[in-house]
């Protein structure tokens, strides 16, 4: 277990360094490619209720995806972190997104003092777009180490009759031959990269 934890930690460090060295232009280019791939994905097209993370500069830009979800008349749910748990709560519009406060990690997040529709309490999710540090093309995913998504997905699978389709997105530099994982790490259905 300790060896696994240490292997994950060193891979996170290595990938962080690699991402820092991707130029802003390249990040933008890859974000556009990922968005195009996602738009053409049948599972995305058929989904009504979609959850996605709100990106930082070191991640694939999800703002165009969020805008597209609203343009297509779909419903968007975004992470709301409280302590050790994460919920997916509904955003109503791009204006709603613009006014979100920033967390200590510099991520936009719906305020926990306001009430927002919770995805798991109102019909679940059809598709979840996940961030990560590293991925394999076969669907292994290395998260940021807090386990928010893995714990959320487990709750999701217990509650939902139909399992949501899991799409991980990342820069091509985040793809690895293999990744150290354990039984708590939930694999994704598809990995889209730039």
* Helix then strand then coil, % of the chain, to nearest 5: 35, 20, 40
pTM of the model: 0.94
Per-residue pLDDT of the chain (194 residues; tens, 9 = 90+): 788 889 999 999 999 999 999 999 999 999 999 999 999 999 999 999 999 999 998 999 999 999 999 999 999 999 998 888 899 999 999 999 999 988 877 788 898 888 889 999 999 999 999 999 999 999 999 998 889 999 999 999 998 888 999 999 999 999 999 999 988 899 999 999 99
List the structure tokens of 144. 């940021």
What does the alpha-carbon distance between residue 100 and residue 91 come to, in Å, rounded to a whole number?
A: 10
């Amino acid at each position: 277990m300790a060896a696994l934890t240490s292997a994950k930690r060193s891979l996170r460090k290595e990938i962080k360094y690699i991402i820092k060295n991707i130029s802003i232009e390249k990040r933008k280019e890859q974000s556009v490619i990922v968005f195009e791939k996602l738009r053409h994905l049948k599972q995305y097209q058929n989904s009504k209720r979609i959850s996605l993370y709100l990106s930082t500069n070191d991640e694939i830009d999800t703002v165009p995806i969020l805008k597209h979800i609203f343009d297509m008349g779909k419903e968007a749910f975004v992470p709301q972190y409280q302590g050790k748990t994460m919920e997916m709560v509904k955003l109503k519009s791009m204006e709603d997104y613009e006014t979100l406060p920033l967390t200590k990690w510099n991520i936009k997040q719906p305020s926990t003092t306001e009430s927002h529709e919770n995805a798991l309490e109102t019909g679940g999710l059809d598709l979840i777009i996940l961030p990560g540090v590293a991925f394999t093309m076969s669907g292994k995913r290395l998260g940021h180490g807090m386990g928010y998504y893995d714990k959320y997905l487990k709750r999701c699978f217990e509650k939902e009759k139909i399992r949501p389709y899991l799409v991980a997105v990342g820069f091509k530099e985040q793809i690895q031959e293999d990744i150290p994982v354990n039984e708590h790490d939930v694999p994704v259905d598809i990995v889209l990269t730039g």
